[in-house]
Amino acid sequence: MGNNIPLVVVIMLLVDVIIVAGLVFIITRTLYKRFQAEQQARADNVIQLAKERAKTIEVEARDEALKLIQEADEEIKERRKEVNRENDRLQNRQSELDKKTDRLEQREQALNRRQSSVDRRANEIETLHEKTMEELNRVAQMTVEEARGELLAQVEKTARDDMARIVRQIESEAKEEGEKRAREIIADSIQRVASDHVAEVTTSVVQLPNEEMKGRIVGRNGRNIRAFEQVAGVDVIVDDTPESVTVSCFDSVRREIARRSLERLILDGRIHPAYIEKVFAAETREMEKTLKEAGEQAIYDAGIPSLHPEIVKKLGRLKFRTSYGQNQLAHAVETAKLAAVISNELGANEELARLGGLLHDIGKAMDHNTEGTHAKIGAEFVTRYGVSKKVANIIASHHHEEDQETIEAIIVEAADAISGARPGARREDLENYIKRLRALEDIANAYEGVEQTYAIQAGREVRIIVRPEQIDDYAAMKMAKDIAQQIEDTMQYPGQIKVTVIRETRAVGTAR
């Protein structure tokens, strides 16, 4: 028994071990199958996802391929259209070239035929010319050299006559231009240099309340008048003119200050050397304000934004300058406005033309101690105060003393001429203008057959209407030349005058 118990135990242990091993095997196998099933499921899932992704990619690839194929087809279609259009153009051009070639061949054939005809005519003309020359030599009893010499003599005579006429015309124009330029130079010199022969532009008359005031102005032994002339820098003329004295000076501004000072002294009644100096100094300060205000008003009227104070003050001095009765400050403003309008019409720099027009005559405000022409010294003056070189060139070149560098310089020159030469701007121009128009019309009206005469374009053209029953076409042409010649011989005028003779024939019929 004692020996069986251990055996049983061993058997039981063995059974337990076998049972445990079986259980472990069964559990392990179950777990393995479960794990294998899970792995299989995962693998199936991955495969399924991969298949779906592959299908998606395949669909996208097919769409992309389709799109590329469509784009390629469209591009091929466009290329084909372009090729077709190019082929059409080439065919059209080829057709045109063929037509041109045909036309050229036809023209060449026509030219060949014409050349043959011309050659035949040339031969005929040469033969006729030889016969004619022989006949002329026979009739005139002159050789070819003698006839050529006679002809050259006649041509030379005609050429000399024409040359003489042209020389007279040039001399006349030069004389007219020279006289005009001389008047300008003389007037400018009168304004800047003292003279006793230009009373209307260098003197001012001061009215007196009575004749006794002349004695007070002169003072004891001429003390007051000498003091006034020394302080003011003017000449005071006390003559027999009733109740007035004359202030004379080449400097218009200084003359104006002296005139105001004298009027103030006469009004105050106290006239002695010390008070004269005080009044003159006060009027000088007032004149500075007046000049500044006049200059500021001028740049405002001309549409200029701003300028240096010295330029404004110098510009204001033109208020007391005149040329042939035309106020120079008003002339400067008018020139600026005209230049602005012209430059605007031509598409030029309006502001540059406006400023150049306003300042073109600023050199006339300088005194006689400054050397040079008013154009040159005006350009140098504005350059010192920051004005651009283009404006300085406009000022310096408006009388062609320098080359004009810009279109605005030409515009300002034209505006200056328009402002100074228009009828009514200057006293003597209007009178001469009317006389010239009347003289032109009188010359034309003196011819027989003239019905009406009109002098137009400021006397630059004469239009003459003739009676067609009295004047034929040849007579009209001859009349135009004769009138032009008479105008040239009897009148003085700048530039040229065009003579136009108009002959009109009207034929009237009535249908019944």
Indicate whether 509 belongs to any domain: no
Smallest CA-to-CA distance from 412 within 334, 473, 466 is with 334
Residue 2 has pLDDT above 80, yes or no: no
pTM: 0.46
Other Cβ atoms closer than 10 A to 145: 8
**Mean pLDDT in residue range 281-299:** 87
Q: Which two tokens stand for residue 408?
A: 């605005």
Same domain, yes or no: 44 and 134: yes
Smallest CA-to-CA distance from 25 within 33, 246, 219, 134 is with 33
> Which residues, at least 6 apart from 357, have a Cβ–Cβ distance to it below 8 Å?
302, 332, 335, 336, 337, 338, 339, 340, 394, 412, 415, 416
362: three-class secondary structure by DSSP: helix
Among 95, 126, 141, residue at a domain's last position: 141
Mean pLDDT for all residues in the chain: 81
Among 254, 288, 322, residue at a domain's last position: 288
Residue 75 has pLDDT above 50, yes or no: yes
> Which residues, at least 6 apart from 447, have a Cβ–Cβ distance to it below 8 Å?
464, 479, 482, 483
Indicate whether 341 belongs to any domain: yes
Same domain, yes or no: 123 and 147: no
**Stronger pLDDT, 35 or 174, i.e. the higher one:** 35
Residue 433 has pLDDT above 60, yes or no: yes
- CA atoms 258, 264, 266, 268: torsion sign: negative
Same domain, yes or no: 206 and 152: no
Total count of domains within the chain: 5
Residue 324 has pLDDT above 70, yes or no: no
Helix (H) or strand (E) holding 201: helix 199-202
Same domain, yes or no: 362 and 402: yes
Same domain, yes or no: 32 and 137: yes
Which CATH number goes with the domain that contains 220?
3.30.1370.10
Indicate whether 189 belongs to any domain: no
The residue segments making up the domain with residue 389 are 303-421
| Bridge partners of residue 503, in order along the sequence | 466
CA dihedral 174, 180, 183, 187 (to 10 degrees): -130
Indicate whether 492 belongs to any domain: yes
Top-ranked range on mean pLDDT: pick from 138-152, 161-175, 340-354? 340-354
| Bridge partners of residue 206, in order along the sequence | 245
